[in-house]
């Protein structure tokens, strides 16, 4: 992060986050959002629902005098919900019932009671607890039932939200919009460069050969891609340095996107702008590519469907792959990948079709066809292309990488 | 956790974990593993690659005198890799080159140099740094290149591993096996009760009506299921209390598993023990159910494939859904769900077939067929059953819940 960026700390509370029951999503969300806004997150602390440890964590967080302290969880109605209490203790103030918070809680509980046909008074006795805030703090309007808390400790702005992901996200984004209006976030430019076809070892030296003291660089490797994120203040010298770094990457390695769009975005945009349709034929991925394509709202504009041809019988019956081709070359072969793509294109009446057939492992590999060997096919109006992948890895990695590779094969065919 | 359980703290380091580039997996893994072994994780701290904050985090963690402190990341070859240095500072000892660690690093770097045809000496100059450990600590054999560190601070056992997930997991599991042999972990019984068809509000009161002071209960809600985890020491009084809680749940709510097996496990086991095959026909899930079924190694024993019938044309062409049925009832209907399942069963020559058709949203909902309305079909040797889901939610939740519901529909049909 460029020098002078605001610094933030995140504190999450909840036993379920520490015993394997629930995987954190709030911390990941707010860290990414803060980072995108030019804030440097120094620490993200997850602590059990334990009065002493929670308070110790808050003290530790405040010692560092971050500009922002974001808290998630612990604002519910049970005795395990300790955020207001621990925050009050650390700030050295008592808890007080806040009239605005109380009015919000009452309104929300009347809605809940009416919807679920429950007794309002019984619910309100419990929920009323959520209107008790550290003295001097301000309630944040709830997205669910529990109000949040806005407070100050020295120069640190503190915001606490409930742990329910929908509520946390909604309330944080409201706060962020208000901080944005106050000019809290620095004027930072973020660029994301996406690279497919080489590894980190080929990317690093390209960057290291150029000055980069005005740009914060982050390199990530995952799903068979290398992603370089550049962040800099919006000022001429820093912008020029970032421009040079991006240009050097484009000259040296296979950059496919410099505007943040993923291969999924580019495939969707490319199909839509051509008015073209897509089908899939999946063997070892079993539907993963189709699931990924349809994760996007509106994908029915271009995605028509596909065939999961996990068995050889299905490859023959539904995709018209010839039996003797399967016998001669095996299901994991260039020939079958091409026939699957062509079969799906015909069966689904699509403009393009992608196929995937391979050995995902952990079993089923042979010396000739080891785990990780995957053939990808792309059939389109201009013919059929096949690509071979051969990286040994675990089942999940092989499958994910296969889906990504298939999208890149299509993207190359969609290029104007 | 029962009283007296060992307590652990986890500290992860890496800027990429705090700026949205990489989602943590090591912390989630070790927290779950520790919890399963009867250890209470009090805090999981993620800190930037910053000398001062990292040391402050370690001091904060040690102040609490946990029985175990597990560190992940910061053991690489660059100046951002601060774990050995910060640990030495906090322990008040110098860094020293450890001969055993050095021998391991040298051996590993010779392998890397040979495999990638790189210059060993140039690599070793950088990698040698990884053999410098806090004085008095013990090197942990590497799974990749970097050795881990085993140290002590008072009664706290400290273990540090590289952040590469494969290395972290492998090395932690080696350590855990050795701690197991030392009798470090308490003798804890863990039971997992899985419930489908009711919400948390129906489950909580069943548990609250019984004594539970000898059992730690954890309730999780997700993917349309409620999961109750019971942990207790292996002693008669605690076991009896846990037995009573499980029995009460089985009597009051639709418990489908008490041995930890998920619906995915039970479907796989059920199909395998019957020697039956399964196909899918997916509309709004677009392949998600197929991808989930084939995520399991060996699924080709019973899963033959399916049709992703995202468009109406695909429903007609590949599954034989009659055009007038689609016109009369719409694609999201009981009739079409049944026809899709029957069509997939025939087209894939399977014993059973599951179908999913619904409105995943966020667009496409109408007053009659709102977002979240999903019909699931199951066709089998004894006929076809259809189930209707109607919970409004976001696209991802609707799709995941639909796949889970479809598996439960099949499970009910597989019951002996």
Is pLDDT above 70 for B356? yes
CA A60/CA A204 separation, integer angstroms: 35
Calculate how close chain A gets to B46, using CA atoms only, in Å. Answer: 5
Q: Does residue A145 or residue A61 have the better pLDDT?
A: A61
pLDDT of residue A220: 81
Question: How far apart, in Å, are the Cα atoms of A168 and each of A13, A130, A171, A329, A339?
Answer: 13, 15, 5, 54, 49
Q: pLDDT band for position A416 (50/70/90)?
A: low
> What is B7-181's CATH number, 3.40.50.720, 3.40.50.1220, 2.60.40.10, 3.40.980.10?
3.40.980.10
pLDDT of residue A216: 86
Chain A positions touching B310 (Cβ under 8 A) are 290, 294, 299-300, 303-306
Residues B25-68 pLDDT 10s: 999 999 999 988 989 999 999 999 999 999 999 999 999 999 99
CA A168/CA A159 separation, integer angstroms: 11
- For chain B, what is the total number of helices (H) and then of strands (E)? 14, 17
Strands A7-13, A68-72: pairing kind: parallel
Q: What is the DSSP string of A265-327?
A: HHHHHHHHHHT--EEEEESTTTTHHHHHHHTSTTGGGTEEEEEE--SHHHHHHHH---HHHHH
pLDDT of residue B204: 85
| B179 CB neighbour count, 10 Å cutoff | 17
Of the candidates A43, A57, A309, which has its C-beta nearest B305's C-beta? A309
Of the candidates B22, B50, B308, which has its C-beta nearest A290's C-beta? B308
Q: pLDDT band for position B269 (50/70/90)?
A: very high
Q: pLDDT band for position B2 (50/70/90)?
A: low
Domain B188-257 is found in CATH 3.30.70.2860: yes
Is pLDDT above 80 for A65? yes
pLDDT of residue B122: 83
- Mean pLDDT of all residues belonging to chain B: 93
Q: What is the mean pLDDT of residues A302-323?
A: 97
Contact A295 B286 (CB under 8 A): yes
Q: pLDDT band for position A102 (50/70/90)?
A: very high
Q: Which stretch of B197-206, B225-234, B256-265 has the lowest confidence by average pLDDT?
A: B197-206
The secondary structure of residue B360, as a DSSP letter, is -
Contact B290 A310 (CB under 8 A): yes
Q: What is the mean pLDDT of residues A340-349?
A: 98
Chain A contact for B190 (CB, 8 A cutoff): no
Is there a contact between A65 and A156 (Cβ–Cβ < 8 Å)? yes
Calculate how close chain B gets to A268, using CA atoms only, in Å. Answer: 15
Residues A138-147 pLDDT 10s: 999 999 889 9
CA B191/CA B194 separation, integer angstroms: 10
Share of chain B above pLDDT 70, in %: 99
Which chain A residue shows the shortest CA-CA distance from B64?
Answer: A53
pLDDT of residue A200: 77
- Mean pLDDT of all residues belonging to chain A: 93
Contact B291 A285 (CB under 8 A): yes
Fold classification of B263-414 is Maf protein (3.90.950)
Chain B contact for A119 (CB, 8 A cutoff): no
pLDDT of residue A386: 98
CA A379/CA B341 separation, integer angstroms: 28
Is pLDDT above 60 for B267? yes
Contact A290 B286 (CB under 8 A): yes
Count interface pairs A-B at CB distance under 8 A: 254
Contact A395 B285 (CB under 8 A): no
Q: Phi first, then psi: give them for residue A52, nearest 5 degrees.
A: -65, -45
Is pLDDT above 80 for B222? no
Q: Phi first, then psi: give them for residue A226, nearest 5 degrees.
A: -115, 130
pLDDT of residue B349: 97
Name residues whose C-beta falls within 8 Å of residue A234's C-beta, 6 or more positions apart in sequence: A187, A188, A189
Chain A contact for B63 (CB, 8 A cutoff): yes
pLDDT of residue A357: 98
pLDDT of residue A41: 95
pLDDT of residue A401: 93
Q: Which stretch of A26-40, A55-69, B190-204 has the lowest confidence by average pLDDT?
A: B190-204
Chain A contact for B51 (CB, 8 A cutoff): no
CA B220/CA A313 separation, integer angstroms: 41
Chain A contact for B374 (CB, 8 A cutoff): no
Q: What is the mean pLDDT of residues B388-411?
A: 92
Is pLDDT above 80 for A222? no
Domains of chain B, residue spans: 7-181, 188-257, 263-414
In B119-164, alpha helices (H): 120-127
The secondary structure of residue B39, as a DSSP letter, is P
pLDDT of residue B157: 98
CA A180/CA A68 separation, integer angstroms: 13
- Find tokens 């120094």 and name the residue: A42
Q: Does residue B119 or residue B378 have the better pLDDT?
A: B378
Residues A279-296 pLDDT 10s: 999 999 999 999 999 999
The secondary structure of residue B21, as a DSSP letter, is S
Q: What is the mean pLDDT of residues B351-356?
A: 98
Q: Does residue A220 or residue B56 have the better pLDDT?
A: B56
Tokens of B332: 């999201």
């Amino acid at each position: 992060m460029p020098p002078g960026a605001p610094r933030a700390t995140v504190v999450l509370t909840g036993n379920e986050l520490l015993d394997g029951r629930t995987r954190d999503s709030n911390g990941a969300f707010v860290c990414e959002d803060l980072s995108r806004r030019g804030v440097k997150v120094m620490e993200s602390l997850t602590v059990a629902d334990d009065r002493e440890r929670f308070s110790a964590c808050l003290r530790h967080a405040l010692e560092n005098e971050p500009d922002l302290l974001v808290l998630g969880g612990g604002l519910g109605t049970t005795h395990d919900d300790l955020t207001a209490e621990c925050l009050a203790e650390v700030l050295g103030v008592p808890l007080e019932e806040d009239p605005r918070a109380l009015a919000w809680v009452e309104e929300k509980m009347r809605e809940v009671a009416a919807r679920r046909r429950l007794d309002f008074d019984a619910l309100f006795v419990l929920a009323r607890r959520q209107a008790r805030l550290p003295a001097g703090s301000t309630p944040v309007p709830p997205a669910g039932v529990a109000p949040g808390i806005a407070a100050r400790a020295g120069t640190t702005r503190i915001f606490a939200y409930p742990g329910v992901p929908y509520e946390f996200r909604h309330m944080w984004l409201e706060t962020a919009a208000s901080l944005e209006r106050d000019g809290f976030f620095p004027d930072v430019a973020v660029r994301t460069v996406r690279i497919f076809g080489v590894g980190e070892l080929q990317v690093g030296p390209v960057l290291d050969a150029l000055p980069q003291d005005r740009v914060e660089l982050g390199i990530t490797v995952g799903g068979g891609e290398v992603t370089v994120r550049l962040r800099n203040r919006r000022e001429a010298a820093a912008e020029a340095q970032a421009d040079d770094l991006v240009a050097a990457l484009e000259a040296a390695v296979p950059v496919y996107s410099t505007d943040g769009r993923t291969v999924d975005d580019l495939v969707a945009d490319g199909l839509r702008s051509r008015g073209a349709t897509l089908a899939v034929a999946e063997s070892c991925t079993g539907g993963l590519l189709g699931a990924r394509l349809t994760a996007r709202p509106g994908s029915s504009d271009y995605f028509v469907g596909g065939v999961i041809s996990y068995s050889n019988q299905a490859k023959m019956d539904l995709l018209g792959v010839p039996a003797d081709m399967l016998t001669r070359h095996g299901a994991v072969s260039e020939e079958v990948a091409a026939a699957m793509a062509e079969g799906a294109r015909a069966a689904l009446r699509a403009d393009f079709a992608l196929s995937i057939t391979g050995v995902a492992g952990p079993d089923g590999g042979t010396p000739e066809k080891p785990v990780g060997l995957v053939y990808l096919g792309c059939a389109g109006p201009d013919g059929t292309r096949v690509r071979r992948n051969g990286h040994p890895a675990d089942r999940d990695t092989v499958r994910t990488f296969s889906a990504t590779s298939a999208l890149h094969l299509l993207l190359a065919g969609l290029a104007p």
